[in-house]
């Protein structure tokens, strides 16, 4: 509501007798809020950023504590360490840090590029609350207009916040008078995760951020393949990365581009740059939103590929391309008419996230369209794969603590699903997302009790909020608009009287013997002063 609209409502409700503050009082409160450490914004060449991420997180935790909304999230089991190694502390231990015996406060940090013109949003979330993925419960840390979100650009964007993250991990946060350690969890899409930890991405020799498996068999990497296996192997147990795999490479002089000789198990050619964050490999979120989009899209592509394989077997190798094109158009039309979803240009001609859930709930429509167009063996395997995936999808995305029996069923279902796909459709290659879903998502679920609580929905929602509201804030450049938007969002976060009372200077007590205003009508009382 604008100031003019608010003032009209206040006057209509009988002015100060309505209990609504005047515009001057609102401006004073806004000025006080803007001076708080967690709400100040700095502008650099990379974008607009919160001046103190640590203060903003402490504000959020204090607000949750004061309203009795702080939720304890004990980690069930952190035994996920490489074979033959001792267990590593779940949180980064600095000299003077809070004792690890205290329950930690879980904080996710994510960044993602989106919108038009493109901007990278950096978002932090305190997981110890209900509905942490709601945009209102997240902290917008930075808005960075950019043309690209590669490693060098992300390094400049995170440069402002790295000292604050070190301070947060070293000093922890205060909860009910007790200093607690902070567990930093990396939550963003796979490409951003790879850039943050200094890796090449899906094309790397060892593309998984959790284990040392290679992408596929190669003559140049036979020793690595034999030692760690490949993503294409239908084996759940993998050689996990050391707890300090990424932090060991945060050398001041640059990244350790290789360890050991090429072709040996100690040669990690996939770490090409200095990691931007020292993240524990078991504290990297298995990206539930993007995994759901990727797996659903792979299932739709698989339907088209089955039609192409069947037509090629019947009519010869020259007919498969046209058959695939015709069925793709038929499938898009069918999904629009019966499921009421359609691809969007904003997502590169793909479906948006919630539409993939709708498609999964109506997977029988896709299976029915394949009858008499593919072999019966392929159709039976495809229907069973959809059935298993729909169970996996719901557990993967549900933002609650998952019961232990459902976690065990999730582990079994993911292994059965990927095995079924690989054996029934030999041409299918196991992507890093499918590999993470089968081999590492069950471990994360067992350890933290949920995957959906740590998802990317809150981060993705900021793209829409910025696109809808950035035009309301003046600025000659996109950077100036981003700075105005950041200031407004920082003030809108927990802008309550309790926040002001915690940080605003207290009035000095009156001198001994001074006459105090005790009568209701005393004009020295604040409520009796003219507004």
Name which residue leads in pLDDT, 391 or 241. 391
- 358: pLDDT strictly greater than 90: yes
Supply the pLDDT for residue 499.
44
- Closest Cα partner for 353 from 302, 395, 297, 313? 297
- The pLDDT, as a whole number, for residue 504 is 45
pLDDT in tens, 215-265: 888 888 888 888 888 989 888 888 888 766 665 544 433 444 445 555 555
Predicted local distance difference test score (pLDDT) of residue 490: 87
Least confident of 370-374, 418-422, 466-470: 466-470
* 528 vs 40, more confident: 40
Write down the pLDDT at residue 513.
64
Of residues 506 and 510, the one with the higher pLDDT is 510
CA 6 to mean position of chain CA atoms? 36
Residue 464's pLDDT band (boundaries 50, 70, 90)?
A: confident
| DSSP line for 255-303 | ----SSSTTSTT--TTB-S--SS---GGGB---HHHHHHHHHHHHHHHH
Predicted local confidence at residue 346, as pLDDT:
67
Q: How far is it, in rounded angstroms, from Cα 402 to Cα 392?
A: 12
- What percentage of residues in the chain have a pLDDT greater than 70? 83
Angle, helices 441-448 vs 432-439, to 10°: value is 40
Q: Is the dihedral of CA 493, 494, 497, 498 positive or negative?
A: negative
Match 């406060």 to its residue by tokens: 105
Q: Of 488, 499, 500, 492, nearest to 62 (Cα)?
A: 499
- Helical residues (DSSP H) of 96-254, grouped into ranges: 151-158, 162-171, 190-196, 222-228
Q: List the chain domain ranges.
A: 1-35, 39-189+456-500, 288-454
In DSSP notation, 430-482 reads --HHHHHHHHTHHHHHHHHS-SGGG-SHHHHHHHHHHHHHGGGS--SSHHHHH
Least confident window among 54-63, 111-120, 467-476, 518-527: 518-527
Angstrom distances, CA of residue 427 to CA of 99, 309, 423:
51, 10, 9
* Residue 436 predicted with pLDDT over 60: yes
Using alpha carbons, select from 413, 419, 411 the residue that is nearest to residue 444: 411
- Give the range with max mean pLDDT: 190-204, 277-291, 378-392: 378-392
- The most confident of 393-397, 517-521, 523-527, by mean pLDDT: 393-397
What mean pLDDT do residues 178-203 have? 88
Mean pLDDT value across residues 495-514: 51
**47-71 residue pLDDT tens:** 999 999 999 999 999 989 988 999 9
Mean pLDDT of 352-358: 89
Residue 349 pLDDT class (50, 70, 90 cuts): confident
Position 297 confidence tier, pLDDT thresholds 50, 70, 90: very high
Joined together, the tokens standing for residue 151 give: 């490693």
Question: What are the structure tokens assigned to 205, written together?
Answer: 């020799």
Alpha-carbon gap, residue 100 to 96, rounded angstroms:
11
Distance of CA 18 to the CA centre of its chain: 43
CA distance 393 to 370: 22
Q: The pTM is what?
A: 0.81
Q: Is the pLDDT of residue 393 over 50?
A: yes
Who wins on pLDDT, 99 or 391? 391
Residue 174: φ, ψ to 5°: -95, 130
pLDDT of residue 337: 92
Does position 517 have pLDDT exceeding 80, yes or no? no
Q: Are 206 and 231 in contact (CB under 8 A)?
A: no
Give the least confident one: 61-70, 247-256, 492-501, 511-520. Answer: 247-256
Q: Decide if pLDDT at 495 tops 70.
A: no
Note the pLDDT of residue 401: 92
Average pLDDT rounded to a whole number, residues 101-106: 85
């Amino acid at each position: 509501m604008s100031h003019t609209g608010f003032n009209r409502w206040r006057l209509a409700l009988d002015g100060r007798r309505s209990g609504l503050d005047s515009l001057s009082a609102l401006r004073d409160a806004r000025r006080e809020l803007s001076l708080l450490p967690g709400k100040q914004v700095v502008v650099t060449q990379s974008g607009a950023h919160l001046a103190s991420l640590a203060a903003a997180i402490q504000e959020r935790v204090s607000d949750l504590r004061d309203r009795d909304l702080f939720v304890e999230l004990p980690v069930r089991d952190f035994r996920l360490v490489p074979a033959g190694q001792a267990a590593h502390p779940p949180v980064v231990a600095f000299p003077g840090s809070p004792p690890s015996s205290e329950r930690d406060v879980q904080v996710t940090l994510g960044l993602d590029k989106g919108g038009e013109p493109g901007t990278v949003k950096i978002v932090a979330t305190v997981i110890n609350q209900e509905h942490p993925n709601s945009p209102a419960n997240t902290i917008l840390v930075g808005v960075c207009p950019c043309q690209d979100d590669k490693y060098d650009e992300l390094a400049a964007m995170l440069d402002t916040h790295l000292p604050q993250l070190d301070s947060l991990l070293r000093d922890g946060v205060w909860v009910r008078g007790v200093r607690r350690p902070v567990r930093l969890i990396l939550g963003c899409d796979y490409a951003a995760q790879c850039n943050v930890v200094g890796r090449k991405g899906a094309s790397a020799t060892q593309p998984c951020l959790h284990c040392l498996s290679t992408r596929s068999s190669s003559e140049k990497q036979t020793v690595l393949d034999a030692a760690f296996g490949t993503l294409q192997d239908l084996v759940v147990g993998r050689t996990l990365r050391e707890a300090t795999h990424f932090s060991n490479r945060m050398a001041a002089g640059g990244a350790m581009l290789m360890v050991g000789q090429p072709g040996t198990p100690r040669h990690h050619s996939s770490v090409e740059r200095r990691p931007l964050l020292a993240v524990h490999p078991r504290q990297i979120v298995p990206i539930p939103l993007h995994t759901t989009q990727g797996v659903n899209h792979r299932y739709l592509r698989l339907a088209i590929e089955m039609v192409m394989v069947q037509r090629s077997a019947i009519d010869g190798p020259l007919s498969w391309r046209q058959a695939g094109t015709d069925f793709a158009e038929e499938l898009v039309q069918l999904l629009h008419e019966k499921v009421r979803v359609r691809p969007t240009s904003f997502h590169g001609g793909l479906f948006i996230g919630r539409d993939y859930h709708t498609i999964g709930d109506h997977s029988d429509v896709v299976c029915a369209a394949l009858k008499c167009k593919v072999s019966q063996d392929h159709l039976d395997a495809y229907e069973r794969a959809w059935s298993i995936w729909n169970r996996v999808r719901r557990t993967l995305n549900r933002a609650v603590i998952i019961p232990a029996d459902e976690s065990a069923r999730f582990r079994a279902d993911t292994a059965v699903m990927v095995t079924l796909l690989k054996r029934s459709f030999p041409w299918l290659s196991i992507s890093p997302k499918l590999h993470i879903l089968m081999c590492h998502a069950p471990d994360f679920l067992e350890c933290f009790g949920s995957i959906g609580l740590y998802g990317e929905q809150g981060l993705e929602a900021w793209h829409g909020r910025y696109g809808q509201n950035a035009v309301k804030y003046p600025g000659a450049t996109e950077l100036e608009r981003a700075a105005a938007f950041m200031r407004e969002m920082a003030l809108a976060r927990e802008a309550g009287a309790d926040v002001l009372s915690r940080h605003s200077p207290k009035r000095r007590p009156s001198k001994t013997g001074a006459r105090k205003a005790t009568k209701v009508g005393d004009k020295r009382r604040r409520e009796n002063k003219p507004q």
